[in-house]
């Protein structure tokens, strides 16, 4: 997997879920998040709000959330707030929004922008009697050491008919090298649209919105969904339509695609972005901007 870490990735023959097995000890995994995650994995700088308003990617997610939670007084918990980038814009629309983050990269967001972020691991934190209308996890679920334990806790923290918003990478659309970029130490589980449907149904959630985002180019292809908590006894069984052998064939075709086309395409795309950025900053680029006003 990425960074040359020698951990095997396997696939379930029954449901086609792709996951790391065996996984490292949980203590080591948590220590990585507390001590090394920010520098080693994301190199995340302190969050600074955009001067141009809400960024397009965040605005899209906020629009989806508003479709199911029109009341701005709704209680929302963001699990894995990181630097506070999403929570900042979420709290503008939902003042009761709160986040939880085990790392240190949220300290600036709390100190400067007064965001409500709990410093703790989600699985370990005691929320008492607090309940939420929605739990948001953006590129977080695939990071949990035990996804069953995590989603069970999510369910217990939601009010009746509460919602969960999830965005995760789509293993069937690896936008970079599968082995040297996409499969990661911090992603013990890799979902496809079919496997995440079955996983949520197993834990008493009914998916009411799902979009498998992205089709082309060297940009992330994600699964984005909203699911509703359903009453015990009314859970629906989802029959997975994927066969594990067909999934393996798809992933091997992605390996070949990257080997022959992906690296060239990605380098070309990077060159284009650098050229466009350089043009925008040049005197000629500034002149074009003035003429276009």
From residue 287, alpha-carbon distances to 208, 224, 275, 278, 292 in Å are 48, 40, 17, 14, 9
Task: Note the Cα 229 to chain centre separation in Å.
Answer: 20
Task: Note whether 215 and 119 are same-domain residues.
Answer: yes
* Residue of 90 and 254 predicted with greater confidence: 90
**Stretch 171-185: mean pLDDT:** 87
Task: Note whether 111 and 56 are same-domain residues.
Answer: yes
Least confident range from 75-84, 127-136, 283-292: namely 283-292
Task: Note whether 242 and 260 are same-domain residues.
Answer: no
Task: Note whether 258 and 243 are same-domain residues.
Answer: no
Task: Note whether 154 and 115 are same-domain residues.
Answer: yes
Task: Note whether 187 and 91 are same-domain residues.
Answer: yes
Output the CA angle 198-68-115, nearest 5 degrees. Answer: 100
Give the whole-number percent of the chain exceeding pLDDT 70.
80
Least confident range from 110-119, 152-161, 268-277: namely 268-277
Residue 109 host element (H or E): helix 107-113
Task: Note whether 86 and 153 are same-domain residues.
Answer: yes
Task: Note whether 154 and 261 are same-domain residues.
Answer: no
Task: Note whether 280 and 179 are same-domain residues.
Answer: no
Q: How many domains does the chain have?
A: 2
| Tokens 């969960």 belong to residue | 164
210 pLDDT above the threshold of 90: yes
pLDDT in the model for residue 224: 96
Cβ proximity of 174 and 182 under 8 Å: yes
Task: Note whether 222 and 283 are same-domain residues.
Answer: no
pLDDT in the model for residue 130: 96
From residue 27, alpha-carbon distances to 33, 152, 286, 293 in Å are 10, 21, 53, 57
The CATH number covering residue 211 comes to: 3.40.50.150
In this prediction, residue 204 has a pLDDT band, given cuts at 50, 70 and 90, of very high
Task: Note whether 155 and 264 are same-domain residues.
Answer: no
Q: In whole angstroms, what is the distance from residue 106 CA to residue 119 CA? A: 8
Least confident range from 52-56, 82-86, 226-230, 287-291: namely 287-291
pLDDT in the model for residue 248: 95
11 pLDDT above the threshold of 80: yes
pLDDT in the model for residue 211: 94
81 pLDDT above the threshold of 70: yes
In 3D, which of 57, 58, 125 has the Cα closest to residue 91? 58
* Residue of 40 and 293 predicted with greater confidence: 40
For residue 55, what are the domain limits?
2-247
pLDDT in the model for residue 122: 96
Q: In whole angstroms, what is the distance from residue 26 CA to residue 108 CA? A: 28
In this prediction, residue 255 has a pLDDT band, given cuts at 50, 70 and 90, of confident
Q: What is the mean pLDDT of the chain?
A: 85
Task: Note whether 213 and 273 are same-domain residues.
Answer: no
From residue 120, alpha-carbon distances to 49, 139, 150, 293 in Å are 24, 18, 14, 48
90 pLDDT above the threshold of 70: yes
């Amino acid at each position: 997997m990425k960074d040359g870490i020698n951990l095997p990735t396997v696939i379930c023959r029954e449901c086609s879920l792709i996951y790391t097995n065996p996984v490292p000890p949980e203590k080591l995994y948590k220590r990585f998040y507390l001590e090394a995650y920010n520098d080693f994995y994301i190199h995340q700088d302190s969050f600074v709000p955009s001067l141009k308003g809400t960024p397009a990617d965040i605005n899209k997610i906020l629009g989806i959330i508003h479709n199911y939670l029109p009341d701005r007084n709704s209680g929302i918990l963001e699990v894995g707030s990181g630097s506070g980038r999403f929570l900042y814009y979420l709290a503008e629309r939902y003042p009761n929004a709160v986040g939880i983050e085990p790392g240190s990269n949220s300290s600036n967001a709390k100190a400067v922008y007064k965001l409500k972020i709990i410093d703790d691991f989600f699985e370990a934190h005691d929320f008492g009697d607090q309940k939420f209308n929605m739990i948001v996890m953006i590129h977080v679920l695939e990071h949990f050491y035990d996804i069953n334990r995590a989603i069970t806790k999510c369910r217990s923290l939601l009010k009746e008919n509460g919602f969960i918003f999830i965005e995760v990478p789509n293993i069937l659309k690896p936008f970079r090298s599968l082995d040297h970029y996409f499969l990661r130490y911090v992603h013990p589980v890799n979902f496809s649209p079919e496997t995440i449907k079955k996983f949520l149904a197993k834990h008493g959630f009914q998916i009411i919105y799902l979009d498998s985002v992205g089709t082309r180019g060297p940009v992330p292809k994600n699964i984005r969904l909203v699911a509703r908590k359903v009453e015990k006894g009314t859970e629906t069984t989802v029959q997975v339509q994927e066969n594990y052998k067909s999934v393996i064939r798809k992933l091997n075709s992605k390996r070949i695609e990257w080997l022959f086309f992906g690296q060239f395409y990605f380098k070309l795309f990077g060159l284009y972005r650098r050229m466009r950025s350089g043009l925008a900053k040049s005197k000629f680029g500034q002149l074009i901007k003035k003429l276009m006003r």
